[in-house]
Amino acid sequence: MRTDSEPADTQEMLWYRFGTRLTDVLTADQAVRAARLDWRVATAPGSVPGSYFAIREDRWDRKGNGILGKLRGPYIPFQNVEAFTFLDPLVQTGTLEYDSAGEWGQGEQVWIMLRLREEVEIAPCDLIAQFLLVLHAPHNGHHRLTYVPVRLVSRSILSEEAFYSPKPLITPFDVRPRRFQVPTDVALEEVRNHFKNFAAKFKTMLKLELESKQAYNYFLSVFEAFGHLHKQSALTVEETKKACDGCLQLFRNGHGTELPGVSGTLWAAYAAFDEYFDFYRASPADWKYLPDIWLSPLKASALSVATKLAAKMT
Domain residue spans in the chain?
A: 14-33+78-201, 41-76, 203-313
Helices 297-313 and 212-229 pack at an angle, to 10 degrees, of: 130
Indicate whether 62 pLDDT > 90: no
d(CA 252, CA 271): 11
Neighbour count for residue 25 (Cβ, 10 Å): 22
The vertex-195 CA angle with 194 and 201, nearest 5°, equals: 95
User: Which residues share a beta bridge with 149?
Assistant: 130
For residue 103, which of 307, 305, 286 has the smallest C-alpha distance? 286
The CA–CA distances, whole Å, from 261 to 202, 267, 276 equal 12, 10, 21
Q: What is the mean pLDDT of residues 230-241?
A: 81
Q: Are strands 19-21 and 41-45 parallel, antiparallel or unpaired?
A: unpaired
pLDDT of residue 163: 60
pLDDT of residue 5: 42
Spatial contact of 201 and 310, defined as CB atoms under 8 Å apart? yes
**pLDDT tier at 37 (50, 70, 90 boundaries)?**
very high
* 219 vs 74, higher pLDDT: 219
d(CA 251, CA 238): 20
Indicate whether 2 pLDDT > 50: no
Spatial contact of 268 and 247, defined as CB atoms under 8 Å apart? no
For residue 295, which of 80, 135, 184, 107 has the smallest C-alpha distance? 135
Indicate whether 261 pLDDT > 80: yes
Task: Give percent of the chain above pLDDT 70.
Answer: 94
Indicate whether 176 pLDDT > 90: no
Indicate whether 162 pLDDT > 70: no
Dihedral angle, C-alpha 309, 126, 244, 149, nearest 10 °? 80
Q: What is the mean pLDDT of residues 76-94?
A: 93
d(CA 198, CA 116): 14
Q: What is the mean pLDDT of residues 49-76?
A: 85
* 175 vs 186, higher pLDDT: 186
pLDDT of residue 4: 44
**pLDDT tier at 168 (50, 70, 90 boundaries)?**
confident
Q: Are strands 109-123 and 41-45 parallel, antiparallel or unpaired?
A: unpaired
pLDDT of residue 6: 45
d(CA 2, CA 282): 12
Indicate whether 9 pLDDT > 70: no
**pLDDT tier at 165 (50, 70, 90 boundaries)?**
confident
Indicate whether 266 pLDDT > 50: yes
d(CA 151, CA 277): 14
**pLDDT tier at 12 (50, 70, 90 boundaries)?**
confident
Indicate whether 76 pLDDT > 80: yes
Across 9-18, 61-70, 192-201, the highest mean pLDDT is recorded for 192-201
Q: What is the mean pLDDT of residues 71-98?
A: 90
| pTM for the model | 0.92
**pLDDT tier at 141 (50, 70, 90 boundaries)?**
confident
The CA–CA distances, whole Å, from 301 to 53, 151, 171 equal 36, 18, 29
